[in-house]
Amino acid sequence: MNDHQYYQMRTPDEIKKIILDKAITDSRIRAVLLNGSRANQNVPPDGLRDFDIVYIVQQMDSFIADHDWISIFGEKLIWQLPDEMELCSRENKPSESFHYLMLFKDGHRIDLTLFPVEKIKTDFTSDSLTVVWLDKDNLFENIEPASDKDYRVGRPTEKEFRDACNEFWWVSTYIAKGLRRQEISYAKAMMEGPVRKMFLKITDWYIGTRNNFSVAPGLHGKYMRQYLSDEEYIDWLKTYPDAKSKNIWNALFLMTGIFKSFACSIAEKLHFSYNSHEQDNVMSYLRDQHEKAMGTD
């Protein structure tokens, strides 16, 4: 077998059957839940959507003791056991569950979570994007129909809004400092780290104010295209520069312009105050640093 062998992609129904057949025939598995994008009717279907599956199980240690049992799901291209990785912070891991992340050679991916049935009442957190595929003990008979309500952008408090604006403008100065010193990796890290985080947050709130906070723009704004105008979306994408100093400066100034527009719109719609003095001070600083940087190039 060579590395480029073609694998016939299984249908979603075939994957579902494998998942359910295991659960039906294994008495330790008491329920099967589908979460994520395949449970979300607002997400256009495609072949790249993961199967986010939860097995509610008895005797969970018996599954974890020997991981070979997951071979029933197909031939793996790569897989990960995050709960056994030293790279992952123990503080960020659910204390009761165990995860198998599996990408198969036919292109399908299953993210499987095991959760102990005895902890359902005390430690299980429900997800609004949940479809019950199997429930042997009627554990989820009162579950609501799946919706994206847990993932919708929430209305910010005025302090949250002002804090986000302050963080954006504050760390923007770090980008200028990095560019002045020709520390490109540092400037890029600041732009794509804390500054981008606040830029995304303000974009989410902007979308929220225009849609009565009833929509979900998605992780890292992956669905934002549905809620921005074509011009807004194209300009938003232009804020991702390459590693050339000139292009990073251009993207930074474009980003600040979009941020100002979105923030002022949010403030108006939510009757918040916006610190334009802070913004103007930082913009003057950025323009000054840009002029000095261009003078040294």
Q: What is the pLDDT of residues 46-96, one digit of tens each?
A: 778 899 999 999 999 999 999 999 999 999 999 999 999 887 555 555 568
CB atoms within 10 A of CB 236: 20
Q: What's the pLDDT band for 1 if we cut at 50, 70, 90?
A: very low
Global confidence as pTM: 0.85
DSSP 11: P
Burial of residue 204 (CB within 10 Å: 0-12, 13-18, 19+) is buried
> Percent of the chain, pLDDT > 90?
80
Instruction: Find out whether 190 and 174 touch, Cβ atoms under 8 Å.
Output: yes
Instruction: Find out whether 220 and 201 touch, Cβ atoms under 8 Å.
Output: no
21 has pLDDT over 50:
yes
Q: For residue 282, which of 250, 260, 258 has the smallest C-alpha distance?
A: 260
At 90, which amino acid appears? R
Low-confidence winner among 36-40, 100-104, 154-158, 245-249 (lowest mean pLDDT): 36-40
State the Cα–Cα distance between residues 189 and 196, nearest whole angstrom. 10
CB atoms within 10 A of CB 112: 18
pLDDT of residue 294: 87
> In sequence order, what are the residues at sequence separation of 6 or more whose Cβ sits closer than 8 angstroms to the Cβ of residue 87?
none
Identify which has the larger pLDDT, 92 or 177: 177
Between the CA of residue 249 and those of 163, 191, 210, 285, what are the distances in Å?
24, 11, 30, 13
Instruction: Find out whether 171 and 194 touch, Cβ atoms under 8 Å.
Output: yes
> In sequence order, what are the residues at sequence separation of 6 or more whose Cβ sits closer than 8 angstroms to the Cβ of residue 231?
none
Looking at the DSSP bridge assignments, the partners of residue 102 are 79, 110
